[in-house]
């Protein structure tokens, strides 16, 4: 059994791309592995949220993941700031992280560009905190997107450095967890790559039916096929790709046949697609709205998660402190 860990950004809503990409895989693997999922609220402080936003963002993200099927009994689902062992390990790892290597991280260089007025030390040591998140449970596999691969490599480097420095074989070197063929890539509606890559091309789980219809009807199309059985251009294939995951297979074949016979009316396809997306997201949306209101449930989930996470974290930290040489008098 692998120990799989994933950190969840505490800002932004889940869209269909997230759902069919990572979240659905999380839901599946939580029953097959030792899974840790946490909301990275300490990391979010690098952009200075207001106290109100800080809390509400965590609440929203938690409700969306629970509504999507993360099971707090099966996985360990927690809020990063509920586990004080993480910042302690972060402090310890910081002593063996070098300014030069941190400055060379692409995520840091990006931040210097996007927030030049707020280049704080938390941004510089972001990969160290991320390594602490991972190493605190000695995770073996970490599902990360392309943009986080370098940070994961830093976690491996810090693990290796610690082992070498103290001549121990304590930390695992965590590697990227690849969903393989289970990773469904959902395109955006503007013909511009993946959903979520640019703003306004996404359908969110919390979008209401009216909004979904509006977004789908606005999706880019072309002038229509001119030859029988021609290959679909990207904007059209995108609509079919979304249809593949939300619609019944006979619906997909119906529109495929229409396309191949050059009889397709994109308006009909979009109307059907919008209704099928609504049918798919509506129950999730209702669960999100219910959970968000349910203080008692959220409190129970977060408490249970913190207890499970701290049990594992405390054990690691005790070992690490011993290895480093802290001794009781
Ligand atoms: N940096 C990750 C992101 O922006 C979130 C994250 C924080 C994370 N700590 C982590 C991901 C540990 C994996 C493991 O998406």
What's the whole-number mean pLDDT along residues 43-58?
96
Instruction: Domain of residue 136: give its range.
Output: 3-185+294-324
Both tokens of 114, joined, read 């996007």
Residue 197 lies in a domain: no
- Decide if 141 is catalytic: no
CA distances from 163 to 93, 96, 157, 226, 323 (A): 12, 12, 10, 63, 10
Ligand 1, atom 10: nearest CA belongs to which residue?
7
Residue 191 lies in a domain: no
Q: List the alpha helices (DSSP H) in the chain.
A: 16-18, 24-29, 41-44, 51-67, 85-94, 99-103, 106-114, 121-124, 126-135, 149-165, 209-217, 234-246, 249-260, 266-293, 295-324
Per-residue pLDDT at 199 exceeds 80:
no
pLDDT of 1 reads: 83
pTM over 0.85: yes
Residue 128 lies in a domain: yes
- Decide if 258 is catalytic: no
User: Among 17, 22, 79, 130, which is best to mutate for testing ligand 1, by the most ligand atoms less than 8 A from CB?
Assistant: 130
CATH code where residue 260 lies: 1.10.240.10
pLDDT of 200 reads: 73
pLDDT of 258 reads: 97
Residues 6+ apart with CB under 8 A from 155: 127, 130, 131, 134, 135, 142, 174
pLDDT of 181 reads: 80
Catalytic position from the list 28, 160, 185, 197: 197
Report pLDDT digits (tens) over 271-298.
999 999 999 999 999 999 999 999 999 9
Ligand 1, atom 3: nearest CA belongs to which residue?
9
User: Among 10, 23, 26, 43, which is best to mutate for testing ligand 1, by the most ligand atoms less than 8 A from CB?
Assistant: 43
Do 54 and 181 belong together in one domain?
Answer: yes
Cβ of 7 below 6 Å from ligand 1: yes
From CA 129, how far away is CA 125, in angstroms rounded? 7
From CA 146, how far away is CA 35, in angstroms rounded? 21
Both tokens of 59, joined, read 């609440």
Per-residue pLDDT at 246 exceeds 90:
yes
- Decide if 197 is catalytic: yes
Residue of higher predicted confidence among 12 and 163? 163
CATH code where residue 20 lies: 3.40.50.620
pLDDT range class, residue 162, cuts 50, 70, 90: very high
Does the CA dihedral 282-288-293-295 come out positive or negative?
positive
Cβ of 6 below 6 Å from ligand 1: yes
Cβ of 89 below 6 Å from ligand 1: no
User: Among 40, 44, 80, 145, which is best to mutate for testing ligand 1, by the most ligand atoms less than 8 A from CB?
Assistant: 40
- Contact by Cβ (8 Å): 8, 39: yes
Residue 139 lies in a domain: yes
Residue 241 lies in a domain: yes
Ligand 1, atom 6: nearest CA belongs to which residue?
7
- Contact by Cβ (8 Å): 277, 203: yes
From the CA of 195, how far away is ligand 1's center (Å)?
19
The number of folded domains in the chain is: 2
Do 298 and 286 belong together in one domain?
Answer: no
Residue 255 lies in a domain: yes
Report pLDDT digits (tens) over 109-118.
999 999 999 9
Average pLDDT, the chain: 96
């Amino acid at each position: 059994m692998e120990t799989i860990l994933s950190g969840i950004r505490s800002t932004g809503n889940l869209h269909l791309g997230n759902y069919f990409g990572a979240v659905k895989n999380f839901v599946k693997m939580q029953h097959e592995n030792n899974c840790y999922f946490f909301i990275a609220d300490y990391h979010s402080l690098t952009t200075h949220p207001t106290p109100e936003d800080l809390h509400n963002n965590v609440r929203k993200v938690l409700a969306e993941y629970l509504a999507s099927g993360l099971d707090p009994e099966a996985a360990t689902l927690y809020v990063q700031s509920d586990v004080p062992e993480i910042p302690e390990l972060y402090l310890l790892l910081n002593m063996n992280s070098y300014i030069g290597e941190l400055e060379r991280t692409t995520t840091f260089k990006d931040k210097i560009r996007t927030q030049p007025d707020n280049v704080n030390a938390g941004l510089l040591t972001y990969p160290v905190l991320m390594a602490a998140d991972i190493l605190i449970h000695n995770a073996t596999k970490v599902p990360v997107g392309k943009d986080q691969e370098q940070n994961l490599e830093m976690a491996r480097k810090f693990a290796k450095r610690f082992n070498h420095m103290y001549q121990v074989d304590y930390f695992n070197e965590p590697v990227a967890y690849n969903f393989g063929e289970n990773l469904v890539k959902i395109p955006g509606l503007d013909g511009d790559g993946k959903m979520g890559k640019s703003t306004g091309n996404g359908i969110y789980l919390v979008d209401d039916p009216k909004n979904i219809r509006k977004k789908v009807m606005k999706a880019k199309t072309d002038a229509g096929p001119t030859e029988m059985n021609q290959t679909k251009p990207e904007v059209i294939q995108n609509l079919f790709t979304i249809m593949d995951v939300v619609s019944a297979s006979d619906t997909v074949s119906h529109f495929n046949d229409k396309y191949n016979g050059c009889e397709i009316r994109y308006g009909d396809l979009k109307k059907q697609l919008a209704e099928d997306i609504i049918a798919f997201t509506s129950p999730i949306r209702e669960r999100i709205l219910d959970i968000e209101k349910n203080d008692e449930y959220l409190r129970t989930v977060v408490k249970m998660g913190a207890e499970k996470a701290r049990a594992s974290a405390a054990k690691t930290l005790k070992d690490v402190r011993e290895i480093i040489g802290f001794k009781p008098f």
